[in-house]
Amino acid sequence: MIHIANDVFQIPVTPRQLVNTYLIGSTLIDAGIKFSGRTILRQLGNHRLTAHALTHAHPDHQGASAELCKKLGIPFWVGAKDQSAAESGLVVNNMPNPKHPVAIFEQNFMAGPGHPVDRILQEGDMVEDFVVIETPGHSAGHVCFWRERDGVLIAGDVLRNINFFTTMPELSEPPAIFTTSVETNKKSIQKIAALKPQVICFGHGPVIRDAERIQAFAKRI
Ligand SMILES: [Zn+2]
């Protein structure tokens, strides 16, 4: 686990922070792919979990969700419009082309099974000391978690900070082939940039501690 801010840790589930989960307080945000359960539990060590929330129900975020919720007996919290994907486990159906070979690969080899959702997350809800921000586009029910006090944003996949081919840090939009609506996601990028986050935690890539870079990026797109 990498300490990011007060009561916030990044838990990468792959080398080079290619895929990340986060611990905020005692809530696990995202759960990697279906093989990530063990590495998450190992990194958590003695940290006790009381809940598990998703930024969105995609195969690289809900992979170990069912396993961890069952094993630890913790509730599962998901944005309203991602509920059916999270519960069915059919998590590429809302991508632009679910029959794309990469989508089929993700469904078969990365996605975890569905799991009943215990709480629907909506704009303004609190998760620990973070407020839920609805940020649709990458998926319809995508949410971010925002703590104004110290400017920490768990951004999910509204933006990423990695080039998937070189694995070098690179601030960019999520890949269009995995994004339900690129245009709607651009609006969500504007929405989070307007918060002026100081510490931006991505589903993919290392954390950025520079509010101006996010704002400059949001202006460019
Ligand atoms: Zn992702």
The 3-state secondary structure of 96-146, one letter per residue: CCCCCHHHHHHHHHCCCCCCCCCEEECCCCEECCEEEEECCCCCCCCEEEE
Ligand 1 centroid–CA 72 distance in Å is: 24
Q: Which amino acid is at 95?
A: M
Ligand 1 centroid–CA 42 distance in Å is: 21
Which fold does the domain 2-220 belong to in CATH?
Metallo-beta-lactamase; Chain A (3.60.15)
Q: Name the residue ranges covered by the structural domains of the chain.
A: 2-220
Assign 3-class secondary structure to 182-205: HHHHHHHHHHHHHCCCCEEEECCC
Distance, C-alpha 154 to centroid of its chain? 7
Residue 56's pLDDT band (cuts 50, 70, 90): very high
Q: Which amino acid is at 20?
A: N
Ligand 1 centroid–CA 150 distance in Å is: 25
Ligand 1 centroid–CA 204 distance in Å is: 6
Neighbours of ion ligand 1 (CB under 5 A): 60, 157, 203
pTM exceeds cut of 0.85: yes
Check residues 94 and 56 and name the one with the higher pLDDT.
56
User: What is the tens place of the pLDDT at every residue in 159-215?
Assistant: 999 999 999 999 999 999 999 999 999 999 999 999 999 999 999 999 999 999 999
Ligand 1 centroid–CA 36 distance in Å is: 14
Ligand 1 centroid–CA 205 distance in Å is: 10
